[in-house]
Structure 1
């Protein structure tokens, strides 16, 4: 048996084979029985191997599924991180930079739209020749955030959040010709660049138009590409919607709206066959713009957008090379300041490289026929054409006008960075790149891009940190040859440093005068301080606001041009005048000359001591006391209330004027165009009497017709009644009322309590506010001497 079991093999060989298996329990001792060991071991090995293989396949499948799930969730995680970073940078110390002049103007328009009483408030921006969309978008934030500056800036932050998403989508679409991996990476990189780019951080934290213009620009670009890829009516409507947003934001949007056909054809040349759809999109935008023609002052848009800021065609054709060179230098300075040199160089290099050869290892080509050159062409046109338009046509240019162009330069940077990241895959093992030289080159390339990325982050951080914590120390554009941002936002009379202290003082005074409130007067010209004060204090309880032309004394203006401010001042409300100017500047000198008795309360210098805020208290005595009706307030034509009057000249000579100021309000809008009469009559009877003098006119000497009155309006209406020469000396009754000039029908007069007033029957003088038998309201007596 032993010989047969050997089978030609020696025990040592079998023992050696067994030992070679490496089993710690196997023995090489030949005396050990081996029958069961030989017959069972292969079966055990086969069973274990099969189970291991199945387990490995299951684990591999699970691992692949987990990886796919993680990869699928990665964009969501990145989006959340971007959103959190964006909000952290934008919201941190949002009020650290005080309100600047234009912010006050735009927020005031938003406040008027929020409390709109008619269409003129909704279109208040047309008064300065601007589109109203920004003011409309402020309304939700103004309604929930008490601080109006923060509310206005939240509008820009919301638009900026939309811009992050739009940058992601636009960069992904324009990066498609370089492969899916590049496309997937370009989007989040573009979003990240927007989050940290100084140009975006600055304007997202300010209540200005420019973040919204950027939103419109990116939306037009994205919807145009979307439509061009597969023209259809729903996609055309999206393009029209984007164009509508653009033209309701700023007319400089025409610089990129005009590029829509070029972008569509470049992305998909066959889309030109559907040109009529694109024309329809233009009609949608034009229809939205036509809403502005409901306002009678729509013509202001031409001056507000072009007249003050742009050259005419004739001026352009005169080839003003000096101006063009200055504009080009200004744009270059804006780029280096708010994009930063590292990011600017990356943008230029990336844009140039987009016209080059295909990348290695770019991933599977997407199902599109778009060439890299066309994508690069679209980006180049979207950046260079608006820049050229500004350089060649701008008469006056600010850095914020080119914000949407600067943001567009981040898109090629994102695509270039994505392409570089995809090429770095060759650094990983098993990528089929055994060449050490090439691997070393990739290492160097990765190092260069990493250092460049770090320099971009550092460059952006050196602007963002002081902007948030100490705006006066931020590296603003500061070229004194132009009206640049440091001068405009920090140092000049446009800046709001000192405004908070002034408002705190006014709030304290208001609380100390609960009965009368306070009156705050500023100059008539728009900007600082007028619009900033109105933005904060319009419709604020206990505060009455008013204007005065810089060439007039405040007291003279209150006496001769009465309004709600003079009415409240006549009742004892303290009067304050706010001024911002350079030390010893023209405004300060003129104000001191016209108002020598004004008392200086606050004098707050701004950074750099180029300007300062001043607050004065004005001493004013009205020409006569106001007479205010209470329960017997006369009511004309059921809705017009005569709240009171001021009789400035109770005694006159024949040939001079008797002056009376009427204070009107209304409970509702009026359809009738009524005329006011103010008569001096003789006699004591409730009817009749001899009319010795009169003044009939539409309210406000024709400038404030009743058809324009709105609920809440306060109309101070002055009448100078000329007493004819030869009028006998004596005492005459002053009566007023209203009639329809078209029909000569006199409007019914009654009193607020419905009594109609009482007229004495014993021949004595009635009380002021009594109504006679001819719908005339008796005010008082005027003595002719």
Structure 2
């Protein structure tokens, strides 16, 4: 039976005034590090897509499932709309607030999970480290769904453990609602529910009859949770585009038929880069400390340690064998697992008052994340990402350097007469990212083309009579002299691997 007074009494007995101040400090540091310069990092092409979807769905209710047209679940679209309403003139800031909220849900879940498994010291220590872990710091500042996938992992992991230990119908119901909610974020959340079958390991005992009874009861409740989750997930069938989800998944994950034909097609590449990406974007030290913590946990609490080990190994095996496209952000939940184990090890060291070990570990952690964090917040071009992420967010064609400034230039010109921008790319880069910076009152029209060459340029020349017409090239870097365009600005990116070109259309025949 719910009793708010018992809960308050528990909190009062468990947390001292010092603990409360530390928790407030952690929450304050979280929002400070997530909100500072939030809209200053150059827009990523995928962010442009997701924000435009939310923008369309906001203004036209018939398109609330617009993300399904590209095989993406709708949670980000729905969750971004309230922020667009709050900040209609800064859609990038609004879109990235969605990631910040997902990160806060992750932080709260991380604190509760760590407290439940390892105690108060681990929860406070781990939550403090969570705030400064580069993996979380970066992706929770982006208009991407990955912070919500991480939140889904943490809360599902927590309630699976609680369900197997308590075996309550109410817990099963909550787990089902949580699972269904986060299934609307990304297909990969399914693996967290599937791994629930491992949970009886935590109640393994020599009394086989009792073990059998408790295991059957747990699986019955887990089945109930999965049914609830699937019912919520199938709300997407209200859209005629639901079938695109399974098709889109095959872009990133091998089907079983593909796997049987070429089981090792992606294996060696994924085997090499999966652990590298996880450790790299954690700053290496935290991940390695987590692995040491795992070994200690297996010694101290064999059942829980093996449970953690299986949650690392089984998804890892699935990823290295089946994943076609591997980006670090897809691996973010591994960072939560390793950080949980790191906080466990550090809490154990604190409990034993091993001062020299603690100083060494915290100095090591500080040195490993300090530069990473500072560049994420203030020096974007120097973020020490692995090459694949520098290519996506900083150096390659998806990195939107100069997009905001381009739209500000067009806005100034539109004060003289209407502006039309011809954008190379009608999906993502460049149309969608330009659209993010378009305000309701702007006298600016965007027209996306793919491909775009002289044909589109000449077709739009008649518009010059009453408008300024500008041309934004996001992919092409060769422009014949006879084309009717005059260069306004070339936008170079760090690393000089790609650039943008911004032209004015002329009447040249």
Q: TM-score, normalised by structure 2?
A: 0.89
CA distance in 2, matches of 1:92, 1:173: 31
Residue of structure 1 in register with 2:24 after alignment: 80
Residue of structure 1 in register with 2:493 after alignment: 606
Residue of structure 2 in register with 1:580 after alignment: 474
CA distance in 2, matches of 1:538, 1:258: 44
Residue of structure 2 in register with 1:198 after alignment: 134
CA distance in 2, matches of 1:456, 1:130: 36
Q: 1:307 to 1:539 in 2, by over 3 A?
A: farther
Aligned pairs (5 A) from 1:458-497: 458-478=367-387, 484-497=388-401
Whether 2:437 is the aligned partner of 1:536: answer yes
Please list the CA deviations of residues 474-498 of structure 1 after superposition, one character each: whole Å capped at 9, or x if unmatched.
Answer: 21112xxxxx011111111111111
Q: Between Structure 1 and Structure 2, which shows a larger proportion of helix residues?
A: 2
How far residue 391 of structure 1 moved from its aligned partner, in angstroms, is 0.9
Q: 1:184 to 1:70 in 2, by over 3 A?
A: closer
Contact 1:96/1:471 (CA < 8 Å) preserved in 2?
Answer: no
Q: 1:154 to 1:118 in 2, by over 3 A?
A: closer
CA distance in 1, matches of 2:502, 2:129: 43
Please list the CA deviations of residues 74-99 of structure 1 after superposition, one character each: whole Å capped at 9, or x if unmatched.
Answer: 33112101011112222222233211
Please list the CA deviations of residues 447-466 of structure 1 after superposition, one character each: whole Å capped at 9, or x if unmatched.
Answer: 12321121102211121012
Aligned pairs (5 A) from 1:509-520: 509-513=413-417, 517-520=418-421
Contact 1:203/1:210 (CA < 8 Å) preserved in 2?
Answer: yes
Residue of structure 1 in register with 2:120 after alignment: 184
Q: 1:282 to 1:322 in 2, by over 3 A?
A: closer
Q: Between Structure 1 and Structure 2, which shows a larger proportion of strand residues?
A: 1
CA distance in 1, matches of 2:441, 2:200: 50
Q: 1:69 to 1:313 in 2, by over 3 A?
A: closer
How far residue 166 of structure 1 moved from its aligned partner, in angstroms, is 0.8
Please list the CA deviations of residues 240-287 of structure 1 after superposition, one character each: whole Å capped at 9, or x if unmatched.
Answer: 111112210110112212112322563575153243332221122111
Residue of structure 1 in register with 2:411 after alignment: 507
* Divergent runs of 4+, >6 A: none
Match of 2:65 among 101, 123, 131: 123
Match of 2:152 among 207, 213, 216: 216
Q: 1:557 to 1:122 in 2, by over 3 A?
A: farther
Whether 2:309 is the aligned partner of 1:380: answer yes
CA distance in 1, matches of 2:228, 2:14: 43
Q: Which runs of 5+ in 2 are unaligned?
A: 1-11, 205-210
Residue of structure 1 in register with 2:250 after alignment: 307
Please list the CA deviations of residues 614-634 of structure 1 after superposition, one character each: whole Å capped at 9, or x if unmatched.
Answer: 22233579xxxxxxxxxxxxx
Contact 1:340/1:460 (CA < 8 Å) preserved in 2?
Answer: yes
CA distance in 2, matches of 1:573, 1:241: 52
Residue of structure 1 in register with 2:36 after alignment: 92
Contact 1:224/1:264 (CA < 8 Å) preserved in 2?
Answer: no
Q: 1:398 to 1:540 in 2, by over 3 A?
A: farther
Residue of structure 2 in register with 1:251 after alignment: 187
Q: Which runs of 5+ in 1 are unaligned?
A: 1-67, 176-182, 358-371, 425-444, 479-483, 560-565, 582-586, 622-785
Contact 1:110/1:138 (CA < 8 Å) preserved in 2?
Answer: yes
Contact 1:548/1:557 (CA < 8 Å) preserved in 2?
Answer: no
CA distance in 2, matches of 1:570, 1:126: 37
Partner SS for 1:397? coil
Greater relative contact order (Cα < 8 A, sep 6+): 2
CA distance in 2, matches of 1:490, 1:505: 22
Contact 1:310/1:394 (CA < 8 Å) preserved in 2?
Answer: yes
Match of 2:349 among 398, 404, 420: 420
How far residue 218 of structure 1 moved from its aligned partner, in angstroms, is 0.7
Contact 2:424/2:452 (CA < 8 Å) preserved in 1?
Answer: no
Contact 1:174/1:375 (CA < 8 Å) preserved in 2?
Answer: no
Match of 2:91 among 138, 145, 148: 148
Whether 2:365 is the aligned partner of 1:456: answer yes
Please list the CA deviations of residues 582-631 of structure 1 after superposition, one character each: whole Å capped at 9, or x if unmatched.
Answer: xxxxx343x648x811232222111122222222233579xxxxxxxxxx
How far residue 314 of structure 1 moved from its aligned partner, in angstroms, is 2.7
Contact 1:386/1:405 (CA < 8 Å) preserved in 2?
Answer: no
Contact 2:278/2:334 (CA < 8 Å) preserved in 1?
Answer: no
Partner SS for 2:470? strand
Partner SS for 2:437? helix
Q: 1:88 to 1:73 in 2, by over 3 A?
A: same
Q: TM-score, normalised by structure 1?
A: 0.59
Partner SS for 1:311? coil
CA distance in 1, matches of 2:14, 2:201: 38
Structure with max Cα Rg: 1
Contact 1:265/1:271 (CA < 8 Å) preserved in 2?
Answer: no
Q: 1:231 to 1:571 in 2, by over 3 A?
A: farther
Q: 1:601 to 1:465 in 2, by over 3 A?
A: same
Q: 1:286 to 1:571 in 2, by over 3 A?
A: farther
CA distance in 1, matches of 2:458, 2:216: 66
Aligned pairs (5 A) from 1:385-400: 385-400=314-329
CA distance in 2, matches of 1:107, 1:620: 35
CA distance in 2, matches of 1:70, 1:133: 36
Q: 1:557 to 1:295 in 2, by over 3 A?
A: farther
